[in-house]
Chain A
Amino acid sequence: MENHSLVQRLIARPEFGPFVLLVIEIGVFWGFNHDFLSPQNISNTLAFTVELGLIALAMTLLMTSGEFDLSVGSLFGFSPVLMWTLFNGGVTSLEMGFVVALLVAALIGLINGWFVTQLKIPSFLVTLGMLLVVRGSALFITDGFPQRTWSAEGSWLAEALVGDFFIGPFRIYMSLFWFIAAAIALGYVLTQSRTGNWIQAAGGNPNAARARGVNVNRVKIGLFVLSSLMASLAGVISSLRTSAANPNSGTGYELEVIAMVVIGGTALTGGRGTIIGTVLGILILRVMRNGIVLIGVPGLAYNIFIGAIILGMMALHSWLERRHQAGT
């Protein structure tokens, strides 16, 4: 085997492409509008980015195992709504409401996982249906109206999750640290733990994995639960930060999250995943969204971009896969 230099090995990594893309993108937008890299813009962008990012991290693991979860957006909106309804109705404290919301989310993840592994229904369809169920539930609880949310200054939960402080001119939220912690933890799990190997095996060749004793079903169910939990957590964080709880929020997030994961280099068909790549993908897409608004493109056109990007990345991966196969 040839000895590749450090630089050559860096370039060969799947995360290299997204990294270059991110750098170019930031450069382009900054060129258009210097405000782009202002502390205020960065702080604002970062705040929301980490919320979506938490979902993307979980989605990375789920997609590596070969499944998708399209219900995350609806859970993002549903969980805070549930929490606030319980609180406003005097049923529980805010913290208990939070726990209840997480438990409900876990249950939904369990149901998703059960349908996919036991009934062998494609995860796309199950979670698409679940999306409607959860969204409908959110609308029902609130009658379609946003919930009242007191400014959660006093609650220690809010402090822990979204307490903010200033580092120099940058306004940082606690959620950023939660995100970093999650990224490190999940990254380690995926690459350095047996569980991570199970996930990759389940996505790469589930029959071979089962023949070696890997409990593919349990792994997938666990990942569905993780995905729902993250979506729920992200929604609560967002709600506490913006002091709002709208049953319709989160609409469309699932696709953006999938796009983030795919751009980062995780294979669509499963078997291979990268957390670092997802982090890059998160930044690429959020920077894009922020940037095109700054430039003045109508926000509604963002959807078209996302769709095109998803298609483009899928095609690219598919082409690379085929070239790799042909070469061996």
Chain B
Amino acid sequence: MTRTETAPPLAGSATHQTRRSVRLPAETGAAVALAALVALLGWLSPSFLEPANLLSVLGQAALPGLLAIGMVFVLATREIDLSAGAVFHLAATFTALLMVAGVDPWLAALAGVAAGAGLGLINGLLVIALRLPALLVTLGTWWMIQGLSLVAGKGQTTAPPGADVLATLSGKAFVVVPAAGVIFVVLALALHVVLHRTRFGYRVQAVGSNPQAAAHAGIPTSKVRLLTLVLMGAMAGLAGVIHIGAQGAVAPGDGGTFALLAIAAAIIGGTSLSGGNGSVIGAAIGMLILQAILSAMTLLGVDAIWAAFATGALVVLALAADRLVRLWRNRRAGHSGDNPLG
């Protein structure tokens, strides 16, 4: 068999200078941004830097943060779950109602997480059965779950009596660190490993990068998508349960902006909307950034009434910034126009 040894560089082949440089982890950018932000806020209002305050930011970021790290998996498969906030709320209400009915608080907590996972499962099954993108399915289920919550909670704040037992969740580990924060950090690290070092995580990235290619290679794309939605639901359920434990009650408006915040945090952290990659730690840092801004606003004397406005503006700006950075990076690499052969 004839083989041409060193083939002369042909017009059609690419010539690369392979840069063997040390590549910083993708999350460095987000971490730097967080550090800079904290410094800035500390300068604007010195009390921001007090340890108690910083830890409280961590504690508050923990709940939407759990949603964010779950959302990373969903985004990595090129899907979006809009119902996460409603799942959070329903799981919390469900747990509260169980406790009101006299069920042991820890059992109720378990049931809450299971309920979240179950709702995620329903989302996933609908995506498969209806053959629709998760964006549209969860748009519908968002409403249905919200409706269910309203009916179950009768549109009022539910405050279960046995919540004190769950108050360990609102307690502090190591005296100062809020328990919710600890759970958040631990899960963020764990899920990061799952995404980058397990077969499941590999499949998630493969499906998101090119579902057709993944299917051609034998990866069960539907099952992978289903599992990411179940995971998302479980995280939302867990967050809901922690909410009951920490706050002792769940009000009708709680969690309304969580889904959007989670998506924004994931994007800030480096997960792209076009799927195929993701950074769990980045999403966690992203949520800390968002929460820091929101908390700082209260500290700076800005009216609480600005909360909705600020959240919306932050999300839109985060999305815009992510897109601009991407465009800038593409331009530098010389990719322009679309590839007619690809």
Which residues of A are in contact with B by a Cβ distance under 8 Å? Answer: 115, 119-122, 124-126, 128-137, 139-140, 143-144, 255, 258, 268, 298, 300-308, 310-311, 314-315, 318, 322
Residue from A130, A255, A303, A311 within 8 A of B137 (CB atoms): A311
Seed contacts A311-B141, A315-B132; 8 additional CB < 8 Å A-B pairs: A121-B273, A122-B273, A268-B136, A301-B151, A303-B146, A311-B140, A318-B132, A322-B131
Within the complex, the shortest CB–CB distance from A18 to chain B, in Å, comes to: 18
> How distant is A293 from chain B, measured CB to nearest CB, in Å?
15
B257 adjacent to chain A (CB < 8 Å): yes
Contact residue among B147, B308, B313 (Cβ-Cβ distance under 8 Å from A304): B147
Task: State whether B151 touches A304 (Cβ < 8 A).
Answer: yes
Judged by a CB distance under 8 angstroms, whether B110 is at the interface is no
A139 to chain B: which residues have CB within 8 Å? Answer: 305, 308-309
Q: A307–B311 Cα gap in the complex (Å)?
A: 25
For the complex, give the distance between the alpha carbons of A132 and B319 in Å. 15
Let me know if B308 and A115 touch, CB within 8 A.
no
Closest to A134 in B: B312
Question: Nearest chain-A residue to B273 (Cβ)?
Answer: A122
Bound: A315/B146 CA distance, A: 21
Instruction: Check if B193 is an interface residue, CB within 8 A of chain A.
Output: no
Residue of A nearest to B154 (CB): A300
B272 to chain A, nearest CB (A): 12
| Contact between chains at B305 and A132 (CB < 8 Å) | no
List of B residues within 8 angstroms of A136 by Cβ = 305-312
Which of B129, B137, B142, B316 has the most chain A CB within a 10 Å cutoff?
A: B316
Q: Is B143 an interface residue (CB 8 A)?
A: yes
In contact, A132 and B308 (Cβ under 8 angstroms): yes
Say yes or no: B143 contacts A129, CB within 8 Å: no
Q: Tell me if B103 counts as interface (CB < 8 A to partner A).
A: no
Q: Which residue of B141, B257, B308, B319 is within 8 Å of A307 (Cβ)?
A: B141
Known: A120-B323, A132-B260. A255 touches B310 (CB 8 A): no
Interface residues contributed by chain B, number (CB under 8 Å): 45
Looking at chain A's contact residues, the main secondary structure is: helix
Q: Are B144 and A115 in contact (CB under 8 A)?
A: no
Q: Please judge, given known A-B contacts A306-B143, A307-B144, A318-B130, whether A126 and B319 are in contact too, CB under 8 Å.
A: yes
Determine if B49 is an interface residue (Cβ-Cβ < 8 Å): no
- CA gap between A140 and B307 in the complex, in Å: 10
Q: Cα distance A133–B260 when bound, in Å?
A: 13
B37 contacts the other chain (CB 8 A): no
Q: Is B215 an interface residue (CB 8 A)?
A: no
The residues of A that contact B80 with a CB separation of less than 8 Å are 124-125
Contact A133 B320 (CB under 8 A): no
The answer to whether A115 touches B315, judged by C-beta atoms less than 8 angstroms apart, is no
The reply to whether A132 and B309 contact each other, CB–CB distance below 8 Å, is yes
State which residues 288-319 of B face A: CB under 8 Å. Answer: 303, 305-313, 315-316, 319
Asked if residues B323 and A119 are in contact (CB atoms below 8 Å), the reply is yes
CB pair A307 B142 closer than 8 Å:
yes
Inter-chain contact B307/A121, CB cutoff 8 Å: no
Please list the residues of chain B having a beta carbon within 8 angstroms of any beta carbon in chain A.
Answer: 80, 82, 126, 129-132, 135-137, 139-148, 150-151, 154-155, 257, 260, 263-264, 273, 303, 305-313, 315-316, 319-320, 323-324
Contacting residues, chain B, for A137 (C-beta < 8 A): 309
Chain B residues touching A, majority SS: helix
Q: Is the beta-carbon distance between B312 and A130 smaller than 8 angstroms?
A: yes
Bound together, the chains give a CA A305 to CA B148 distance in angstroms of 10
A139-B305, A314-B140, A322-B131 given; A304·B320 CB < 8 A? no
Minimum C-beta distance from B293 to chain A (A): 14
A305 to B140, CA, bound (A): 10
Contact (Cβ within 8 A) B131 A307: no
Query: Bound complex: CA of A314 vs CA of B305, how far in Å?
Result: 36
Among residues of B, the one whose C-beta sits closest to the C-beta of A315 is: B130
With A140-B305, A300-B147 already in contact, the answer to whether A314 and B312 are too (CB < 8 A) is no
Asked if A129 and B140 sit within 8 Å, CB to CB, the answer is no
Smallest Cβ-Cβ distance to A70: which chain B residue: B139
Q: CA A134 – CA B312 in complex, angstroms?
A: 8
The answer to whether A135 and B144 touch across the interface, beta carbons within 8 angstroms, is no
Question: Inside 8 A of A306's CB, which chain B residues have their CB?
Answer: 143, 147
Are B144 and A304 in contact (CB-based, < 8 A)?
yes
Residue of B nearest to A252 (CB): B143
Selected contact of B305 from candidates A119, A143, A303, CB within 8 Å: A143
Q: Can you give 24 contacting A-B residue pairs, CB < 8 Å? A: A115-B319, A121-B323, A124-B82, A125-B260, A128-B312, A132-B260, A133-B316, A135-B308, A135-B309, A136-B309, A140-B305, A140-B306, A140-B309, A255-B143, A258-B139, A300-B150, A305-B147, A306-B143, A308-B140, A310-B139, A310-B140, A311-B137, A311-B144, A322-B131
Shortest distance in angstroms between A320's beta carbon and chain B's nearest beta carbon? 12
User: What is the CA–CA distance of A129 and B308 in the complex, to the nearest angstrom?
Assistant: 9
What's the nearest-Cβ distance from chain A to residue B180, in Å?
24
Which B residues are CB-close (under 8 A) to A315? 129-130, 132
B316 — nearest CB in chain A belongs to which residue?
A129
In the complex, which residues of chain B have a beta carbon less than 8 angstroms from the beta carbon of A308? 140, 144
* Distance of A168 Cα from B236 Cα, bound (Å): 55
A128, B264: Cα distance in complex, Å: 11
For the complex formed, measure the closest distance between the CB of B283 and the CB atoms of chain A, giving whole angstroms.
16
Interface hub of A300, A306, A322 (most chain B Cβ within 10 A)? A300
Chain B residue at smallest Cβ distance from A136: B309
Q: Smallest CB–CB gap between A35 and chain B, Å?
A: 25
**A130 adjacent to B316 (CB under 8 Å):** yes
**Given A303-B147, A307-B140 in contact, is the A125-B315 Cβ separation under 8 Å?**
yes
User: In the bound complex, how far is the Cα of B134 from the Cα of A224, in angstroms?
Assistant: 24
